[in-house]
Amino acid sequence: MKLLKITLTLAIMSLFSSLVSAKEMPQRLGVGIKNNTSESLPSLAAVYHLNGLTAVTGGVGVDTQKDNSKFQINAGIRHVIFHENQLHYYAGGQLGLVTFEDPIDGKENGFEANFLMGVEFFFTGLENVGFSFEGGLGLSSVKDTRIRTLADDPFRAGIIFYF
């Protein structure tokens, strides 16, 4: 089922690839959504491009479910490695503080450090909306210290609106 979703997403993206163009983003602020924490908590995100190659990022996610609450806040930096015709390819890092609660273990606090590579692309006619996918390596200290690989599912990709 997951393979079918990925195949369908890639097929749809290839159909629209002729409409995609890379964007120069100096001194532009974007806000939107992303989901790249160890406990899969959707987050409100912000990206500010300092110049054409460097951006700072931030995000916050909250879930106040009784006996199963979650909170995370993060900040990061990304550097554009390639301006391709159809996307930006970037690398960067992200540090975050996290708190998770479950009925058995109670509250657990910790941090996350993620080393990311990703792409962001734009469709013609939607020049202010960026779609991004990220992957990389993460270190998490919630409950136990662990190292994990990161890879966004196409249905969990980030969507940012730039002003």
The per-residue pLDDT for range 5-53, each reduced to its tens digit, is 555 555 555 444 444 444 566 788 999 999 877 677 889 999 999 988 8
Matching residue, tokens 């136990």: 144
The per-residue pLDDT for range 66-77, each reduced to its tens digit, is 888 999 999 999
The per-residue pLDDT for range 121-157, each reduced to its tens digit, is 988 778 889 999 888 898 988 878 999 888 867 667 7
Output the pLDDT for position 85. 62
The pTM assigned to this predicted structure is: 0.78
Q: Are 135 and 116 in contact (CB under 8 A)?
A: yes
Nearest-10 Cα torsion for 139, 97, 62, 66? 90
Structural domains in the chain, sorted by start = 2-162 (2.40.160.20)
Q: Which residue has the higher pLDDT, 102 or 160?
A: 160
Output the pLDDT for position 128. 87
